[in-house]
Amino acid sequence: MEDVVIVGAGAAGLTAAVYAGRKRLKTILVTGPNIGGETNSTNDIQNYPGYEGPGPELMKKFWEQAKKWGAQILEARVTKITKPKDFVLELDNGQKLESKTVILCYGRERRKLNIPGEDKFFGRGLSTCTTCDSPLFPNKETAVIGGGNSAVEGALELARIAKKVYIVHRRDVFRADEVTVEKARQEPKIEIITNAVPVEIKGDKFVKSLVIEDVNSMQKRELPLQGVFSEIGWETHTSMVQGLLETNAAGEIMIDAHCRTKTSGLYACGDLTCIPYKQTVISAGHGATAALEAYKFVTGGKGH
């Protein structure tokens, strides 16, 4: 029987592991291979207090610190969590863990376009991260799909490097902040195409074009280019914990200010929750909160 099982090893999970370790809780950290999570995809962190530099390096420090405080690491995926009495976690390697508390911090996944060419050209001209991969497209023709802050900010970043950037958005109203959209409209290298959806990514070994379709006229247009960035947001997967928590309209896990879900002893923190700003520093703070709550629960049984 564990005191706490932490699911996920991004900024939230690794911080929770440090706090749980320092409280001498019997802790297992279950994680997939991507130790460090989303912070790993940022090459230039400028807003983590006390640290400026590549995301993976910061996450390596988190990881070393979690190990130092005794977190037992288990590489596996959790497939189901139930709570007959204490929590039971089923893993994809057939193992079962029992624990008094569980902290969920496995992040979210990038939404997929579900169009032909998406899988084939991923990493061959198709990317889901302008921040990470813009430097790979100097003087190239590119497109960014999406109308949120990630897409429009990404297009502006890309325009500093690429020759041409199309923004392809399925509506004519943007989710991105108006000031950012205004900047994009004024950038000569950017061409904004609204009311259009991507229907196919074409190429041979690498991307050669993006086919888009006007949502009103259904007319297709093929944009010759070498780079496509899909920046269409995120999805949170919660089916493995069905019944134990509530989600909001965006599918994010509802928590209170103590990182508590609706089930006593079950906490969530980081990007998979309803917290408004998905930032490394915020995830780290919430990881600490969740671990301290777990400690309170294990030692005093004072959950809620």
| Closest CB to ligand NAP among residues 181, 298 | 181
Q: Is 274 a catalytic residue?
A: no
Site string for ligand NAP, 145-164 (x = CB under 6 A): xxxxxxx-x-----------
Q: Which stretch binds ligand NAP (CB under 6 A): 81-89, 168-176, 257-265, 294-302?
A: 168-176
284's tokens: 């780290």
- 31 DSSP assignment: E
In angstroms, what is the minimal distance from the CB of 175 to ligand NAP?
5
Question: Which candidate, 120, 131, 128, places its Cα nearest to that of 45?
Answer: 131
Long-range own/partner contacts, residues 292-297 (CB < 8 A, 24 or more apart): 292/19, 292/23, 293/258, 293/259, 293/260, 293/267, 294/3, 294/4, 294/16, 294/20, 294/25, 294/101, 294/103, 294/265, 294/267, 295/19, 295/20, 295/23, 295/25, 297/100, 297/101, 297/264, 297/265
Q: Is 269 a catalytic residue?
A: no
40's tokens: 């790993």
| Residues in 186-205 at the binding interface with ligand NAP, rule: CB under 6 A | 197
In angstroms, what is the minimal distance from the CB of 123 to ligand NAP?
19
Q: Is 3 a catalytic residue?
A: no
Q: Which residues contact 71 (CB under 8 A, 6 or more apart)?
A: 6, 17, 18, 20, 21, 27, 28, 29
126 binds ligand NAP (CB under 6 A): no
Report d(CA 275, CA 248) in Å as an integer.
Answer: 11
**105, 133, 259, 271: the active-site residue:** 133
| Residues in 10-69 at the binding interface with ligand NAP, rule: CB under 6 A | none
| Closest CB to ligand NAP among residues 97, 225 | 225
Residue nearest to ligand NAP (CB): 148
Give me Rg for the CA atoms of the chain. 21
In angstroms, what is the minimal distance from the CB of 89 to ligand NAP?
29
276's tokens: 């408004």
Terminal-to-terminal C-alpha distance of the chain:
21
Total interface residues for ligand NAP by CB under 6 A: 18
| Closest CB to ligand NAP among residues 19, 234 | 234
Q: Which stretch binds ligand NAP (CB under 6 A): 142-150, 219-227, 236-244, 253-261?
A: 142-150
Calculate the CA 52 to chain-centre distance: 21
| Residues in 235-294 at the binding interface with ligand NAP, rule: CB under 6 A | 278
| Closest CB to ligand NAP among residues 29, 145 | 145
In angstroms, what is the minimal distance from the CB of 220 to ligand NAP?
15
In angstroms, what is the minimal distance from the CB of 68 to ligand NAP?
32
What is the full DSSP assignment across 123-168? Answer: TTTEES-HHHHGGG-TT-EEEEE-SSHHHHHHHHHHHTTSSEEEEE
170 binds ligand NAP (CB under 6 A): yes
In angstroms, what is the minimal distance from the CB of 186 to ligand NAP?
18
Q: Which residues contact 246 (CB under 8 A, 6 or more apart)?
A: 253, 254, 261, 262
| Residues in 204-233 at the binding interface with ligand NAP, rule: CB under 6 A | 231-233
Chain residues in the site for ligand NAP (CB under 6 A): 111, 113, 145-151, 153, 170-171, 175, 197, 231-233, 278
Just list the catalytic residues.
129, 132-133
